[in-house]
Amino acid sequence: MAINEYLHKENFIRVDSPIFTPSACEGTTTLFPVPYFDLGEAYLTQTGQLYIEAAIASVGRCYDFGPVFRAEKSITKRHLTEFWMMDAEAAFVKHEENLQIQEGLLKAIIKKCLDECEEELKILGRDTEPLDLVLEKPFIRYSYSEAIEKLHELGSDIKFGEDLGNDDESLLTNDSDVPIFIEKWPKAIKPFYMKVDPEDETRVLNNDLIGIEGSGELIGGSEREDNFDLLLTRIKEEGLPEEDYAWYLDLRKYGTVPHSGFGIGLERTVRWISGVEHIRECIPFPRLVNRVKP
């Protein structure tokens, strides 16, 4: 598998993160609650990120791969309520190197598919020329501010401080031969664990990687906040229960290292590379807002 090959080459070690978790990572409104014996409620995981952040203290660089769950009522060609994701985390990696690793991973996946799946792509009727072009050029980078300005020029009515919708992502990439990094988003609309940009405390050192041909967001990543006091402040600002994150705070309490990571959605990546219309075609038993059988 291309993901495994690339990450092993970059000295990442696989670890397993749990499916049951006591708290949110991505957002408290997109959790699936599960009764958990005498302990009350647990939740189906949104990502293994917080756990592999702990693992880097032992192994340096690691990744997990497994099912994740989002209880968001999005009915689009890009959304599943259950999907597979690979999370990666690396000690002593900062924002810039994190982007380089993400770009290298996506190009390695594309090259592997073009080299070994030519017949399958032909059966699907996939024009592989756009994929070939992706391998030849560096990915484009916009700051969030630059992306909003560009979208306004293209006719979008998005306001500064809003997340990009599907239409905005498509509009931004329509004329691009390569995926686009959107980096350094406003702190106010991003999760608590992202490191504040030392050059501008209103934004964080993060990125979304938006694919071409209408594929949407493929990867999300960030440098992590490694300062205990700043992390605790962010948790309190977002109204999260401090006790649920005590173990996570302890990772910083007695000293830590700079570290960064990202997550890549398998089905969205497959949808783009294969050229199929709907993400439900990229998983054997799709789970959608309106579908839970068979």
Tens of pLDDT, residues 172-183: 999 999 999 999
Tell me the domain boundaries of the chain: 2-282
Residue 163's alpha-carbon distances to 148, 155, 166, 187, 288, in angstroms, are 10, 16, 10, 12, 22
pLDDT of residue 30: 86
How far apart CA 113 and CA 1 sit, in angstroms, is 10
pLDDT of residue 98: 98
pLDDT of residue 12: 98
Query: Contact, 85 vs 35, CB < 8 A?
Result: no
Task: Identify the H or E element spanning 146.
Answer: helix 144-153
State pLDDT tens for residues 143-158.
999 999 999 999 999 9
How far apart CA 66 and CA 83 sit, in angstroms, is 8
Q: Which pTM value belongs to this model?
A: 0.95
Q: Is 33 exposed, middle or buried (0-12, 13-18, 19+ CB in 10 A)?
A: exposed
How far apart CA 219 and CA 222 sit, in angstroms, is 10
pLDDT of residue 168: 97
pLDDT of residue 24: 82
| pLDDT band with cut points at 50, 70 and 90 for residue 29 | confident
Task: Identify the H or E element spanning 5.
Answer: helix 2-9
State pLDDT tens for residues 258-294.
999 999 999 999 999 999 999 999 999 999 999 999 9
| pLDDT band with cut points at 50, 70 and 90 for residue 3 | very high
State pLDDT tens for residues 57-91.
999 999 999 999 999 998 889 999 999 999 999 99
Fold assignment, 2-282 = BirA Bifunctional Protein; domain 2 (3.30.930)
